[in-house]
Structure formats: C-alpha cells, structure tokens
A and B are shown apart, each in its own frame.
Chain A
Amino acid sequence: MIPELGNFFLILAFINAILLGTLSFYGAHTNHKGLIQFSHRASTSIFLLMLASFVCLTISFIQNDFSVAYVASHSNTQLPIYYRISAVWGAHEGSLLLWVLILTGWIFAVSKFSKSLPDTMIARVLGVMGLIAVGFVSFTLFTSNPFERELPFMPIDGADLNPLLQDFGLIVHPPMLYMGYVGFSVVFAFAIAGLLQGELDHKWAKWSRPWTTVAWIFMTLGIALGSWWAYYELGWGGWWFWDPVENASFLPWLAGTALIHSLAATEKRGAFKSWTVLLAILTFSLSLLGTFLVRSGVLTSVHAFANDPVRGKFILVFLAIVVGASLLLYAIQSSKVRSQSNYTLVSREIALLFNNALLAVSTFVVLVGTLHPLMVEAFTDGKSSVGPPYFNLMFSVFFIPILLLMPLGQQISWKKDDLPALLKKYVWWFLSCIFLGLLLTFGLNGFSFTDIEPMAILGTILGLWVIAGTVKYIQLQSAKSQTRMAGMRKISRSYWGMILAHIGVAVTTLGVVLTSYYSIEKDIRIVIGETVEVEGLSVHFKDFKNIQGPNYISSKAIFDVSKSGDFIAELKPEKRRYNASQMVMTEAAIDPGLFRDVYIAMGEPLDNSAWAIRVYYKPFVRWIWLGAIFMALGGILAMTDKRYREKKFKKKASQEAIADGQ
C-alpha cells in the first residue's frame, strides 16, 4: 500500500510540475494575479508531494518491504536502522528521488524567501524551476521508478546495501552534493527569467547572489565530504583521483566559483552582465552534465551506454533541450543587455575578469579531460585514458596565477588603481612568504637538499602568500579608521566572508601540496608481537582478534605506533566480511592530527600468522578539508550580510522607485 501511495504522490507531483511550469509563465505574461498566486501555491504543494513520496520510500526501507524491487536490492534485515534510511539514496532510483525532492525544496524556498522580487519575475523563476522539475520527475517516474514491485516472487531477504556505503560519510555526502547541484538551478532560473523579462540590472544580480552562494556552500561541503569519505573508507589513503564522477561535481563548483565573482562585479558595478548570465546558464548546464555522466552509465563505457540507452538518452535529450533552449534565448536577448561600467586596465573589474578567465579555463581543462576518453571511444577504434598526471599538470598551470593574483585582486580598487603603488605595499610580504615557504619545505624534507620538489616549494609559497596577502588586506582596510578595532568592525560581513573563503583556498592548497609531496607510504610485512620501523615511526603489532559485527565478521588488529620512543596512538584497523554480499572491506585506522595523520590499513594475511599492512604518514592532510570548511563559513558570512537581511525595507524602496519611474 505504502509504495503505491509513494508512486501516487510522485504522479501528482508530475502533474503539479507541469502546471507550475506552464501556468506561471502565462500568469507572468498576462500579469494575472490569480495565476501568479497559484505559482506560489503550486511551489508549496509540489514540495509537500515529493516529501510525502520520499517518506513513503523511506517507510518501505524501514519496514523491510522486499516486495519493492529497489528495497530488495539495496537493503537487508540485518542492516542497522540508520543505514536502512540512508540506503534510500544509496543507488540510482532513490538518489534521483532525493534529487527531485531537493529541487522542489529549492522551489519552495524561492517562493517563500523572494517576496521582495517583482511578482512577474518570481512567477517566471518558479516557472523555469517547474519545467526543470517536469524533466526530472518524469525521468524518475518513467525510467527509474523506485516504487516498482517485484511481485509475486518477492525475495525473503534483501541483497544488502553496498558495504562501502554503510558509513556516516555516505549518509550526509549525497544530500549535501545534491543541494549544491540542484541549488544552481535557482540562479539559472533567475537568469532565464531575467532574459525573458528583459530585466538584467544590478538588482537581478543582487537577488541571485545569495542563492548562488548557498548552492556553492553546499557544493563545497559535499565535495569535501566525498573526498574525506574516500580517504578513510576506501583504504588507499587517496582523497582525490580526478575520476569522472568526482569531476562531475568539480565542474559546476568551478563554474559556480567564477559565477560568484562575476556576480559581484555585476551587482556592484553593473559590469559583465551578459557574461554573468551566460555563466549562470553554463553552471547549471554543468550540473546537468554531471548528472548525465553519473546517471547514464556512459562512464563505464560509451558502449555500455548504448546497450541500455533509455536512461542515458533521456537525460541527454533533456540536457540538450535545456542547454539549447537557454543558449538560444541568450543569443536572442543578450544584445539587449548593456553593461554600463567604465573601467581601466588596472582595476578590480579587470582583476575579476582575470579570475573568471582563469577559472573558466580551469573548468575547461577538467571538462576536456573528462570527456576526451569518451570522444576517443565514440569516434575511433581506440580507447584512451586521462588521469591524474594530466589533470595535476594542466590544472596547476591555470591555478598558479589564480593564487598569485588573489591577494592583489582583493585590494585593488574598482574602476582605476595605481599598480606600482599597489605592488609596493605587498613586496615585503611576498618576499617573506618566499622565505617562509623555502624554510617550511626544507624542514619537511628533513633538512636535506636531496629530492627537492620545485612544485611543492612553489605551492607552499603561494599558499602562504594568499594567507599573508589576506592578512595584509585586513590591515589595509582597517587602517582607514582611527583605531584598528573600529576599522575591523567597519569591514562588512560579506568582505569577511571573502577573507575567510580565500584563506580557505590557501589552507586547502597547502594541504594538497604538502600531503602530495611529503607523505610517506609503506607496505610492510609484520607478525604479532613484532615491531617494524617505518621512516622514523615504530609500528608494534600488539594483538589480533575476530569480532562479530551486526552484519559482518571482522578481523581486527591492534597496533601501537610511536615515534622515537614517544607513544603516538593505538590503531585498530579491521578487515570485514559482510554476510549478505560476502564482500571484503578494509576499515582503515587513522590517528588524526592537525599537522599529520597516521593511517594503517590491513592487507592480506601472509604465511606464518604474518600480515601485510600499509602504513601512511600524511602531513597536513586535514588541511584539505579544513580549507573547505573555511570556504563554506566564508560563504555563510557573505550570504548573511546586512544588505540581504534588510530586504523588507528594500522592497518598499524599490516599489516606490518603480512607481516613480512609471
């Protein structure tokens, strides 16, 4: 009964989406108050319907209703209750349902929190999002329905959730990431509505900005969570592999980062309007492309995609319609968009332009690297691979100038600035960073001149430079007031957001560089009772036992790790065999620290009660995710800036302005 209800709600949501996606436009076009009002009601109801549908699927999981095919293949009676709930989005059908739920959640939020916008504009925004919902609800309903029954031959027990997904990181990672992916649909809808309306002034940018920032925050956290999860769960100590699935989320993040910056120029200076609109369209298109890549199976191989083409074709056609239609609209309408700003070659406008050019090319690098193997396979007989060596090199080429210019870009003034005077303020800071960077990398290299890594030194210097330059920026900004504290208070919250986010970029950069170049990785053979020296660490194999878990059997080893006599940590890595799937999983044991992680993963049992284990020593690895947290906090500061909270007053003012204008 409950799965049927869920399906029924999904069908109602589909009808609701169609109404929202058509009547809103008609209402906006004819300025029909009733229909505009309807678009708000439909936004609420579609969210409630999707929520109800999602709850139905969740109940089916909790009740172990194995007559539902999706539940049967992704759950099991032995599975703890919290994993049964997270298993709802553990595979294709359910995660699509979550995708749509989040989309309708965004629709609901836009309808609730955009009261200050003109009625016709908001109706169009809701209409565009309604059309996106039509696409995705029908995709769920017709190609990937999670409520399909497996009757009358239902299995007695389920096939279990993939053990890799039985983990906290995976409970929270997909919802976060989807919040980001789908969140970019809001700014996309604003762009399309603006183009339709022919109104793309700075107010448009001001409305879009907080929504873009929220989506970006979720995306940042979602990617960081995924990377953290891969690090501790997959047991090979890696945190980023430039895998197409990872790139699929990185692409909209990069484009979204560029968008945040160009929106700033559009809001403050009325500059780059048409570029900003294009970027808004491209960012969401990359979100859709990511969904296509991940959901169509095209990544396994182009031919696998051709064998089971329904899902892939559906998204591909949808992607083509969305991108094609919005670019067409852009081509027709963008000539009406006029940027009104004057600026010279040395100005913040140009700094932001450089930022956007470099971020756009970085996005392109990731895009071409991800799609190239697919193209080669589709158009030639061969197969090729593009992996970390390509991405690391090419991405660095365009990311180094971003880091180099970032501190200057913060300080440079709008319109016109004096470059020599600007550079002069930073010269000593930059030289100090070079010195510090050399010292730090020299220390990490064990104070030796052999095996010097130029890229490690460069990356460290640049990371320090961004931090130092940002501190210098605070100093320069606060110096304008009488006391330093008064000056600091005068810096607005959105600028503190920028400061924090930029420091986050530096922290992540340092983490990435230092852990990539100064990690120690060693596979050793060890017997119980034995102590093995690994590059200055002594690893002592203390104990070994077999443990019965809720749905697995585990072999657990206990190691004492110490460094030159000082005890560091007791680590208990496990090797689990899951009952239902008989899959073997490594649970790595990690001693986390702000400056280093010690990480042990179990390998295979060797002869004579010996085990092969892998020991990692990873300096600064936490900084990778710490930086992402800083970026997200920066985003939160920026979007809670005063000028967004003063919306209600603004609304009055803007309505008066409109009245005056007419």
Chain B
Amino acid sequence: MKKLIVIFCALLMVQLAHAVIETYEFDNEEQEKLYYEIINELRCPKCQNQTIADSDAPLSRDLRYIVQQKIKAGETKRQILAYMQERYGDFVLYDPPLQPANYILWFSPLIIFLIILAVVVARVGRREVTSEEDDTDANASPSNDKGE
C-alpha cells in the first residue's frame, strides 16, 4: 500500500527504503515511551508521508536528536510539539490541532451522523404511524432463505 510513496521518494532520490534504527539511551522508561510517542506523531517535513520515526532523511535524524535532547532536559510533550510547530508549521503535526481551519475536520463527521440520525428517526416515526393504520404485509420479496 505504501508502494507509491516509496516510488515517489525513490524518484525524488530521498533515501528511505529501510527502517531507521538508532540506539538512544534514556534515564527511565517513561522518557523512552514519550520519545517513541512523539517521534511517531511528528511528520518528516521533507518526505512524502512519513513520521520522523520511520524516515531516514538527515532532517528527521536531526529532529529525533532534538526530541531526545529535549526529553532528557525534562520538557513535556506539549512543549516539544509547540517547538516543532513553531519551526515547521502545522505540517509536522500528524495530530491536527483543534483550531478554526480544522473545525470541519473534527466536527463534520459528528454533525453528519446527527443529521442522518434525525432523518432516520423522523422517517421511521412517520412510518410507524402509517404502519399502524395500514398494516398490510408489504413483503415484496419472497425469500427462500431458511436462516431467518
């Protein structure tokens, strides 16, 4: 599924075809967990569609180093993400922030679901009234399905 991205990147001569494996040391397990959490949420600014965790681009390497340094310095996830957003824009955040430009992204599914629900309830309510008045079996499809 990812083949196209890979092809694109191959065309762009970006080296990414292998997993990035580094061996950073951390003070404790929480720090290490936070490190993986953050590098898996930041997008490599130069690549097609990769996290800085997956990307082998030199920029991603640098960014991972910065994340590691900041975690060891005791910064929180929010601070580190804000730092990255300030330098590289919203583009680096795979978790789109809740701001006006993204309202449609976050709220439209719920609104659509509520609209569907309202339509269904309205139509079935109407149907229920009519079906009580006129309860003829409208089973137009004789089914020979025995599982029912």
Assess whether B21 is in contact with A414, with CB atoms less than 8 Å apart.
no
Contact with A along B1-41 (1 / 0, CB 8 A): 11111111010000101111111100000000000100011
Assess whether B145 is in contact with A495, with CB atoms less than 8 Å apart.
yes
Residues of B near A313 (CB, < 8 A) are none
23 A–B contacts from the bound complex (CB under 8 Å):
A91-B7, A202-B140, A234-B6, A243-B49, A343-B124, A344-B127, A344-B128, A345-B128, A357-B113, A360-B116, A368-B108, A382-B91, A386-B105, A387-B51, A387-B95, A390-B95, A398-B109, A414-B148, A492-B146, A523-B21, A586-B19, A601-B21, A603-B22
**Interface-lining segment among A79-87, A143-151, A263-271, A319-327:** A263-271
Q: Is A201 an interface residue (CB 8 A)?
A: yes
Question: What is the distance, in angstroms, from B91's C-beta to the closest C-beta of chain A?
Answer: 4
Contacts A388-B94, A390-B94 known; 14 new A-B pairs at CB < 8 A: A162-B3, A162-B10, A206-B141, A241-B2, A300-B8, A341-B140, A342-B127, A350-B120, A350-B124, A365-B109, A380-B101, A384-B102, A523-B23, A603-B20
Assess whether A492 is in contact with B140, with CB atoms less than 8 Å apart.
no
Cross-chain contact of A246 among B1, B140, B143, B148 (Cβ < 8 A): B1
A interface residues with partner B (beta carbon < 8 Å): 91, 162-165, 170, 173, 201-202, 205-206, 223, 226-227, 229-230, 234-238, 240-241, 243-246, 249, 267-270, 294, 299-300, 340-345, 350, 353, 357-358, 360-361, 364-365, 368-369, 372, 376, 380, 382-390, 394, 397-398, 413-414, 477, 490-492, 494-495, 521, 523-525, 575, 581, 583-586, 588, 601-604, 606, 612-614, 642-643
Assess whether B94 is in contact with A245, with CB atoms less than 8 Å apart.
no
Q: Is B104 an interface residue (CB 8 A)?
A: yes
Q: Is B58 an interface residue (CB 8 A)?
A: no
Residues of B near A365 (CB, < 8 A) are 109
Closest residue of chain B to A375 (Cβ to Cβ) is B104
Cross-chain contact of B95 among A340, A350, A389 (Cβ < 8 A): A389
Residues of B near A240 (CB, < 8 A) are 1
Assess whether A586 is in contact with B18, with CB atoms less than 8 Å apart.
yes
Assess whether A269 is in contact with B113, with CB atoms less than 8 Å apart.
no
Question: What is the distance, in angstroms, from B29's C-beta to the closest C-beta of chain A?
Answer: 10
Closest residue of chain B to A235 (Cβ to Cβ) is B19
Contact with A along B76-113 (1 / 0, CB 8 A): 00000000000001111111100001101110110011
Residues of B near A164 (CB, < 8 A) are 3, 6, 17
Residues of B near A300 (CB, < 8 A) are 8, 48
Cross-chain contact of A490 among B95, B124, B147 (Cβ < 8 A): B147
Question: What is the distance, in angstroms, from B35's C-beta to the closest C-beta of chain A?
Answer: 11
Question: What is the distance, in angstroms, from A363's C-beta to the closest C-beta of chain B?
Answer: 10
Residues of B near A344 (CB, < 8 A) are 124, 127-128, 131
5 cross-chain pairs, A with B, having the tightest CB-CB distances, nearest first? A603-B21, A387-B94, A495-B147, A389-B95, A202-B141
Question: What is the distance, in angstroms, from A40's C-beta to the closest C-beta of chain B?
Answer: 28
Contacts A245-B2, A300-B48, A369-B105 given; indicate if A601 touches B127 (C-beta within 8 A): no
Residues of B near A246 (CB, < 8 A) are 1-2
Residues of B near A389 (CB, < 8 A) are 41, 94-95
Assess whether A612 is in contact with B2, with CB atoms less than 8 Å apart.
no
Cross-chain contact of A612 among B22, B36, B91, B120 (Cβ < 8 A): B22
Assess whether B140 is in contact with A523, with CB atoms less than 8 Å apart.
no
Question: What is the distance, in angstroms, from B120's C-beta to the closest C-beta of chain A?
Answer: 6
CA of A350 to CA of B131, assembled, Å: 15
Closest residue of chain A to B49 (Cβ to Cβ) is A243
Interface size on B, residues (CB 8 A): 65
Contacts A235-B19, A586-B18 given; indicate if A361 touches B116 (C-beta within 8 A): yes
CA of A321 to CA of B80, assembled, Å: 47
CA of A496 to CA of B47, assembled, Å: 46
CA of A398 to CA of B110, assembled, Å: 9
Closest residue of chain B to A369 (Cβ to Cβ) is B105
Contacts A268-B143, A342-B131, A583-B10 given; indicate if A525 touches B94 (C-beta within 8 A): no
CA of A606 to CA of B54, assembled, Å: 19
Question: What is the distance, in angstroms, from A611's C-beta to the closest C-beta of chain B?
Answer: 9
Question: What is the distance, in angstroms, from A236's C-beta to the closest C-beta of chain B?
Answer: 4
Closest residue of chain A to B29 (Cβ to Cβ) is A451
Residues of B near A206 (CB, < 8 A) are 141
Question: What is the distance, in angstroms, from A375's C-beta to the closest C-beta of chain B?
Answer: 8
Question: What is the distance, in angstroms, from B43's C-beta to the closest C-beta of chain A?
Answer: 5
Residues of B near A495 (CB, < 8 A) are 145, 147
Residues of A near B141 (CB, < 8 A) are 202, 205-206, 267-270
Assess whether A345 is in contact with B146, with CB atoms less than 8 Å apart.
no
Cross-chain contact of A385 among B93, B109, B116, B135 (Cβ < 8 A): B93
Cross-chain contact of B96 among A241, A245, A386 (Cβ < 8 A): A386
Q: Is B138 an interface residue (CB 8 A)?
A: yes
Residues of B near A583 (CB, < 8 A) are 10, 17
Closest residue of chain B to A356 (Cβ to Cβ) is B116
In the complex, which of the residues A206, A249, A343 has the most CB atoms of chain B within 10 Å of its own CB atom?
Answer: A343
Contacts A523-B23, A524-B23 given; indicate if A383 touches B135 (C-beta within 8 A): no
In the complex, which of the residues A236, A267, A494 has the most CB atoms of chain B within 10 Å of its own CB atom?
Answer: A236
CA of A163 to CA of B17, assembled, Å: 9
Closest residue of chain B to A380 (Cβ to Cβ) is B101
Question: What is the distance, in angstroms, from A265's C-beta to the closest C-beta of chain B?
Answer: 10
Assess whether B2 is in contact with A234, with CB atoms less than 8 Å apart.
yes
CA of A581 to CA of B48, assembled, Å: 20
Residues of A near B109 (CB, < 8 A) are 361, 364-365, 368, 394, 397-398
Contacts A268-B141, A384-B90 given; indicate if A614 touches B19 (C-beta within 8 A): yes
Assess whether B10 is in contact with A343, with CB atoms less than 8 Å apart.
no
Assess whether B1 is in contact with A342, with CB atoms less than 8 Å apart.
no
Closest residue of chain A to B40 (Cβ to Cβ) is A388
Residues of A near B48 (CB, < 8 A) are 299-300
Assess whether B140 is in contact with A270, with CB atoms less than 8 Å apart.
yes
Assess whether A245 is in contact with B4, with CB atoms less than 8 Å apart.
yes
Residues of A near B22 (CB, < 8 A) are 523, 603, 612
Contacts A343-B131, A384-B96, A394-B109 given; indicate if A170 touches B3 (C-beta within 8 A): yes
Cross-chain contact of B101 among A270, A340, A343, A384 (Cβ < 8 A): A384
CA of A390 to CA of B1, assembled, Å: 20
Cross-chain contact of A387 among B6, B17, B41 (Cβ < 8 A): B41
Assess whether B89 is in contact with A382, with CB atoms less than 8 Å apart.
yes
CA of A477 to CA of B145, assembled, Å: 13
Residues of A near B43 (CB, < 8 A) are 385, 387
Residues of A near B124 (CB, < 8 A) are 343-345, 350
CA of A523 to CA of B23, assembled, Å: 6
Residues of B near A387 (CB, < 8 A) are 41, 43, 51, 94-95
Q: Is B59 an interface residue (CB 8 A)?
A: no
CA of A361 to CA of B53, assembled, Å: 31
Question: What is the distance, in angstroms, from B3's C-beta to the closest C-beta of chain A?
Answer: 6
Residues of A near B117 (CB, < 8 A) are 357
Closest residue of chain B to A225 (Cβ to Cβ) is B1
